[in-house]
Structure 1
Amino acid sequence: MTVRAFEIAELLDQAPDGIEVLSLDCFDTLIWRNTHAPTDVFADIEFVGGGVEPRMWAESHARKRAYLRTGAREVGLTDIYREMLGNADDAEIEAAIGRELAIEADHAFAFAPTVALMREAKRRGLKLILVSDMYLTEAQLRAHVAGAAGDDVLALVDQVFVSNAYGEGKRDGLFPQVLEALGVSADKILHVGDNRAADYDSAIEHGLHAAHLVQFDADAAARLRMEAATALMLDPQCGITRPVAQPHRAQIAMRRSDDPAYMLGHDIVGPGLATFAHWLKNELDEASAKAGKPVRPLFVMRDGYLPWKVFDALYPEMGASTVEISRFVALRGSIADEKFLDHYLEEWTERLPVRSLARQLMLFSHEYAKYDKATDADAAKVEREAFVKWVRKDRDIQRKIFTRRNAFLKKIIAHLSAAGVEQGDAVMLVDIGYNGTVQNLLTPILAEAMNVSVSGRYIFLREKRQSGLDKRGMIDVRNFDYRTLHALSRSIVVLEQLCNVEQGSTIDFDADGTPVREKTDAKAASNATRGVVQAACLDFVSEAAGPSRVRAPRADGLDSRCRAAAASFARLFFLPNAGEVGVFESFDFDYNMGSAASVTLVDKGRGRHGLRRRGLTFYNDQLPQFMSAELQAQGLPVSLANFTASRFKLDLRSTDFEVGGIKVPVILAGAAQQGVMDFTAWPTAEGYYHVRVPVGPQRPVVAVQLGQICEWVQVEEFGFMPLEDMWDGKTASTVPAQATADAMEQMSPGLFRAGPTGVLIAAPPAGTEPMVLSLVFRPVVARKAAAELRVAA
Structure 2
Amino acid sequence: MTVSLSPHQFDQLLGSHPGIQCLSLDCFDTLLWRDTHSPRDIFHGLPGISIIQRSSAESRARRAAQLNGRGSEVTIADIYDQLLPNADRQEREAAIEEEIAAEARHCFGFAPVVQLMVAAKQRGLKIAVVSDTYLDSDQLLSLIAKAAGQDVADLIDHVFCSCAFGKSKSGGVYHDVLRKLKLPGNAILHVGDNRSADIDGVKPFGVNTAHLAQFANSTEQRLRLEAAIDRMIHPHRAEKVAATLPHRAALSIAEPLAESPAERLGMTLLGPVFCGFERWLKSEAKALESANGGNVHWCFLMRDGHLPMMVHSLFGKDENAHALEISRYTAVAASLTTEKALQRFIEQNANLDPFILARQLLIDEEQIRTICADLPPAQASQALLRELRTGQRKKSIIRASREMAERLIAHIANSVRPKTGDTLMLVDLGYNGTVQNRIDGLLAERLSVKIAGRFLLLRENDRPGLDKKGFIGADHYDAFTLESLCANVAVLEQLSTRATGSTIDYEEDGTPVRQGNEIKETQSATRDAIQAGCLKFQAFEETATIRNSAELDLENWRRGAANVLARMMFLPTAEELNVIEQFEHDVNLGTARTTGLFDKTIAHRGLRKRGLFYMNGSERMYLPAEIQGQGMATRLSLLTQRRFGLPLTFGDMADATIELPVIFADSKEAVPQLVTATNTHDGFFMAAIPVGASQYSVALQFGALFEYFELDSLSFHPVEEFLSLTPDDPRNEQPAEPVLDGIEKAAGRLMHCQNEAGFMMVSPPHNPDGQQLLLACVFRPTVIRKAATSPANTADVESGQPLAATEIN
Identify the TM-score tier after normalising by the shorter chain.
over 0.9
1:414 maps to which residue?
Answer: 410
1:185 CA drift (Å): 2.7
1:638 CA drift (Å): 0.6
Aligned length: 782
Counterpart Cα distance in 2 of 1:790 and 1:326: 62
Q: 1:516 aligns with which of 513, 516, 521?
A: 513
1:17 CA drift (Å): 6.1
1:201 maps to which residue?
Answer: 200
- Equivalent AA in structure 2 for residue 770 of structure 1: Q
Q: What is the SS of the residue equivalent to 1:265?
A: helix
State the Cα deviation string for residues 573-616 of structure 1 (Å, max 9, x = none). Answer: 01111111222212111222110011111111111111111111
1:403 CA drift (Å): 2.2
Counterpart Cα distance in 2 of 1:699 and 1:753: 29
Cα RMSD (Å): 2.3
State the Cα deviation string for residues 455-504 of structure 1 (Å, max 9, x = none). Answer: 11101111121010010011111111111111111112221111101111
State the Cα deviation string for residues 286-339 of structure 1 (Å, max 9, x = none). Answer: 112111211211111000100111122235336210111111101111111211
Counterpart Cα distance in 2 of 1:41 and 1:351: 50
Counterpart Cα distance in 2 of 1:62 and 1:156: 33
Contact 1:20 1:188 in 2 (8 A): yes
Q: What is the SS of the residue equivalent to 1:41?
A: helix
What are the equivalent positions in structure 2 for 1:53-202 lying under 5 Å apart?
Answer: 53-202=52-201
2:774 maps to which residue?
Answer: 772
Counterpart Cα distance in 2 of 1:705 and 1:416: 70
1:556 maps to which residue?
Answer: 552
1:56 to 1:792, Cα distance in 2 relative to 1, 3 A: farther
Q: 1:651 aligns with which of 647, 653, 658?
A: 647
Counterpart Cα distance in 1 of 2:733 and 2:682: 21
1:369 CA drift (Å): 3.1
1:277 maps to which residue?
Answer: 278
Counterpart Cα distance in 1 of 2:139 and 2:364: 78
1:319 maps to which residue?
Answer: 320
- Equivalent AA in structure 2 for residue 643 of structure 1: L
Q: 2:700 aligns with which of 675, 699, 704?
A: 704
Matched, 1:453 2:450: yes
1:717 maps to which residue?
Answer: 713
1:248 maps to which residue?
Answer: 247
- Equivalent AA in structure 2 for residue 197 of structure 1: S
Q: Which moved more, 1:594-603 or 1:686-695?
A: 686-695
1:210 to 1:350, Cα distance in 2 relative to 1, 3 A: same
Matched, 1:403 2:399: yes
Q: What is the SS of the residue equivalent to 1:145?
A: helix
Q: What is the SS of the residue equivalent to 2:543?
A: coil
Q: What is the SS of the residue equivalent to 1:210?
A: strand
Contact 1:8 1:114 in 2 (8 A): no
Q: What is the SS of the residue equivalent to 2:544?
A: coil
Matched, 1:232 2:234: no
- Equivalent AA in structure 2 for residue 409 of structure 1: A
Q: What is the SS of the residue equivalent to 2:29?
A: coil
1:506 to 1:291, Cα distance in 2 relative to 1, 3 A: same
Q: What is the SS of the residue equivalent to 2:627?
A: helix
1:712 CA drift (Å): 4.3
Matched, 1:533 2:530: yes
1:554 to 1:33, Cα distance in 2 relative to 1, 3 A: farther
1:698 CA drift (Å): 7.8
1:306 maps to which residue?
Answer: 307
Q: Which moved more, 1:497-506 or 1:206-215?
A: 206-215
Matched, 1:641 2:637: yes
1:369 maps to which residue?
Answer: 369
- TM-score for the superposition, normalised by structure 1: 0.94
Q: Which moved more, 1:482-491 or 1:663-672?
A: 663-672
Contact 1:590 1:597 in 2 (8 A): yes
Q: 2:606 aligns with which of 570, 588, 610?
A: 610
Unaligned runs of at least 5 residues, structure 1: none
Contact 1:523 1:586 in 2 (8 A): no
- Equivalent AA in structure 1 for residue 321 of structure 2: A
1:734 maps to which residue?
Answer: 733
Counterpart Cα distance in 1 of 2:694 and 2:443: 64
1:450 to 1:146, Cα distance in 2 relative to 1, 3 A: closer
1:552 to 1:90, Cα distance in 2 relative to 1, 3 A: closer
Q: 2:473 aligns with which of 461, 471, 476?
A: 476
Q: Which moved more, 1:653-662 or 1:706-715?
A: 706-715
2:459 maps to which residue?
Answer: 462
Q: What is the SS of the residue equivalent to 1:592?
A: coil
Contact 2:231 2:242 in 1 (8 A): no
Q: What is the SS of the residue equivalent to 2:245?
A: coil
Counterpart Cα distance in 2 of 1:261 and 1:194: 28
Q: What is the SS of the residue equivalent to 2:273?
A: helix
Contact 1:746 1:752 in 2 (8 A): yes
2:802 maps to which residue?
Answer: none
What are the equivalent positions in structure 2 for 1:20-35 lying under 5 Å apart?
Answer: 20-35=21-36
1:150 CA drift (Å): 2.9
Q: What is the SS of the residue equivalent to 1:501?
A: coil
Q: What is the SS of the residue equivalent to 1:131?
A: strand
Matched, 1:360 2:378: no
Contact 2:601 2:626 in 1 (8 A): yes
List structure 1 runs of 4+ shifted beyond 6 angstroms.
Answer: 789-793
Counterpart Cα distance in 2 of 1:261 and 1:197: 33
Q: What is the SS of the residue equivalent to 1:175?
A: helix
Percentage identity across paired residues of the two chains? 37
Contact 2:488 2:621 in 1 (8 A): yes
Q: Which moved more, 1:683-692 or 1:513-522?
A: 683-692
1:553 to 1:749, Cα distance in 2 relative to 1, 3 A: farther
- Equivalent AA in structure 1 for residue 683 of structure 2: G
State the Cα deviation string for residues 170-204 of structure 1 (Å, max 9, x = none). Answer: 11131111122223332333222112211111112
1:369 to 1:524, Cα distance in 2 relative to 1, 3 A: closer
1:443 to 1:115, Cα distance in 2 relative to 1, 3 A: same
Q: What is the SS of the residue equivalent to 1:419?
A: helix
Matched, 1:596 2:595: no
Contact 1:306 1:500 in 2 (8 A): yes
Counterpart Cα distance in 2 of 1:19 and 1:517: 65
Counterpart Cα distance in 2 of 1:268 and 1:369: 44
Q: Which moved more, 1:437-446 or 1:116-125?
A: 116-125
Q: What is the SS of the residue equivalent to 2:469?
A: strand
- Equivalent AA in structure 1 for residue 248 of structure 2: R
Contact 1:701 1:761 in 2 (8 A): yes
Contact 2:32 2:144 in 1 (8 A): yes
Q: What is the SS of the residue equivalent to 1:432?
A: strand
Unaligned runs of at least 5 residues, structure 2: 793-809
1:763 to 1:20, Cα distance in 2 relative to 1, 3 A: same
Q: 1:677 aligns with which of 665, 673, 680?
A: 673
What are the equivalent positions in structure 2 for 1:659-670 lying under 5 Å apart?
Answer: 659-670=655-666
Q: What is the SS of the residue equivalent to 2:411?
A: helix
State the Cα deviation string for residues 513-572 of structure 1 (Å, max 9, x = none). Answer: 11111111111221111111100111111228x821123656720111111111111111
- Equivalent AA in structure 2 for residue 127 of structure 1: K
1:429 CA drift (Å): 0.9
1:554 to 1:366, Cα distance in 2 relative to 1, 3 A: closer
1:223 maps to which residue?
Answer: 222
1:666 CA drift (Å): 1.7
Contact 1:459 1:475 in 2 (8 A): yes
1:2 CA drift (Å): 4.5
Counterpart Cα distance in 2 of 1:318 and 1:138: 51
1:262 to 1:323, Cα distance in 2 relative to 1, 3 A: same
Counterpart Cα distance in 1 of 2:204 and 2:695: 79
Contact 1:662 1:792 in 2 (8 A): no
- Equivalent AA in structure 2 for residue 558 of structure 1: L
What are the equivalent positions in structure 2 for 1:478-497 lying under 5 Å apart?
Answer: 478-497=475-494
Q: What is the SS of the residue equivalent to 1:254?
A: helix
Q: Which moved more, 1:649-658 or 1:489-498?
A: 649-658
Q: Which moved more, 1:602-611 or 1:91-100?
A: 91-100
- TM-score for the superposition, normalised by structure 2: 0.92
1:283 CA drift (Å): 0.9
Contact 1:585 1:602 in 2 (8 A): yes
Q: Which moved more, 1:397-406 or 1:101-110?
A: 397-406
Contact 1:436 1:461 in 2 (8 A): yes
Contact 1:8 1:117 in 2 (8 A): no
